[in-house]
Amino acid sequence: MAKTVVIDEHGGPEVFRLVEREVGAPGPGEVRIRHEACGLNFIDVYQRTGLYPLELPHALGMEAAGLIEAVGEGVTHLKEGDRAAYAAAPPGAYAEARVMSAAQVCPLPDSISFEEGAAMMLKGLTTHYLFRRTTPISKGDTVLFHAAAGGVGLIACQWARSEGITLIGTAGTDEKCALALEHGAAQCINYRSGDWVEQVRDLTDGAGVDVVMDAVGADTFEGSLDSLKPLGMMISFGNASGPVPPFSVGVLGQKGSLKITRPTLFTHISDHETCQRMAADLFGKVTSGDVTLRIDQRFPLEDVAEAHRVLEARKTTGSTVLIP
């Protein structure tokens, strides 16, 4: 048996229930993992509210780290007793233990703690595909990154610095801007302090940026397009302020033959070998010291509703973990 967080309906944090569920034995291609820490991400909010609807009832949570308790037939990259971490669908990581497909579960180096593993997989692999797999980004290019003091943002600041990429961040307070600068952002704009689009233009001598990475969504979409140089790439990868409303594709031509994409992590890691290679790259960034994981919030698993409230109120910095 394992305590597991489930929802029976979409709604606010009050819909969470903590239940006891039988875990069972792994089948072919599966593992049973006992979690030491579970990650918290904005996609969990989207699933809870129904923006990304689930077939209910359903457990929530997309990333965690822990110990492999058992492996099913055909699993060769993991064995009983291994330390492991993952970001994977379907949801179900808010739990003491679970049985799941082994394909996206990755061996976790001894030098990376379980809390770091739980805090880094979804956010770190997202950073990987943003910088390595979405559009060519080279040393000397300039990227605009919204919510630069969040879990993905602080990893992205460090990733950019390690590869000679200029990252201009945005955040909602001077304190969050200072945090982004500390982690490698070249500049950070408090978007409450004035016209941030104008400030981006000023910082780039009027040219605009090569790439925008935007997980905020509705509130920043128009400004993000206006921050790009001609032929620039807009990567819209989240909806923290709500989904981007419909727009005319002709606008992209009017604003300088811009490009736009809406990727998801789970497309990039759907192939087992690709996922394992991406994880190895990410672990290398962490073990080399290029990226450090900042975990600023910890909640017991039973306090998951409060964790969601704090996240939605944008009162978090860095990463948040739940402890079973």
Check whether 85 has a pLDDT greater than 90: yes
| pLDDT tens string 174-199 | 999 999 999 999 999 999 999 999 99
| pLDDT tens string 118-156 | 999 999 999 999 999 999 999 999 999 999 999 999 999
Closest CA to 124 of 155, 93, 103, 153: 155
Considering 262, 278, 296, which residue would you say is the last residue of a domain?
262
- Evaluate whether residue 34 is within a structural domain: yes
**Are β-strands 228-236 and 259-261 bridged in parallel, bridged antiparallel, or unpaired?**
parallel
**In sequence order, what DSSP letters do the residues of 169-199 get, joined into one string?**
EEESSHHHHHHHHHTT-SEEEETTSS-HHHH
79 with 180, same domain? no
pLDDT band at 314 (very low <50, low <70, confident <90, very high): confident
* pLDDT score recorded for residue 12: 98
15 with 94, same domain? yes
172 with 241, same domain? yes
165 with 247, same domain? yes
CA dihedral for 109, 120, 43, 234, sign (positive or negative) = negative
Count how many domains the chain has.
2
- Evaluate whether residue 129 is within a structural domain: no
Structural domain boundaries, residue 98: 2-122+266-323
Closest CA to 214 of 199, 231, 197, 198: 197
pLDDT band at 218 (very low <50, low <70, confident <90, very high): very high
Look at the block and give the residue holding tokens 């960034």.
285
Contact 63, 39 (CB under 8 A): yes
Considering 262, 284, 309, which residue would you say is the last residue of a domain?
262
160 with 243, same domain? yes
Cβ-count burial 206-243 (b if 16+ within 10 Å, e if not) = eebbbbbbbbbbebbbebbbbbbbeebbbbbbbbbbee
pTM score = 0.94
Q: What's the mean pLDDT in 63-90? A: 98
- Evaluate whether residue 128 is within a structural domain: no
pLDDT band at 217 (very low <50, low <70, confident <90, very high): very high
37 with 70, same domain? yes
Mean pLDDT taken over the chain: 97
Which phi-psi region, left, alpha or beta, contains residue 313 (left: φ > 0; alpha: ψ -120 to 50)? alpha
Instruction: Give the type of residue at 99.
Output: V
| pLDDT tens string 92-106 | 999 999 999 999 999
89 with 14, same domain? yes
212 with 183, same domain? yes
Q: What's the CATH code of the domain at 78?
A: 3.90.180.10
* pLDDT score recorded for residue 30: 98
166 with 106, same domain? no
192 with 287, same domain? no
Q: What's the CATH code of the domain at 163?
A: 3.40.50.720
205 with 301, same domain? no
**Are β-strands 209-214 and 228-236 bridged in parallel, bridged antiparallel, or unpaired?**
parallel
- Evaluate whether residue 62 is within a structural domain: yes
* pLDDT score recorded for residue 205: 98
Which residues fall within 8 angstroms of residue 253, CB to CB, at 6 or more apart? Answer: none
- Evaluate whether residue 181 is within a structural domain: yes
- Evaluate whether residue 110 is within a structural domain: yes
Q: What's the mean pLDDT in 2-16? A: 98
Q: What's the mean pLDDT in 104-117? A: 98
Which residues fall within 8 angstroms of residue 127, CB to CB, at 6 or more apart? Answer: 152, 155, 156, 159, 282
- Evaluate whether residue 16 is within a structural domain: yes
The number of helix segments (H) and strand segments (E) in the chain equals 10, 16
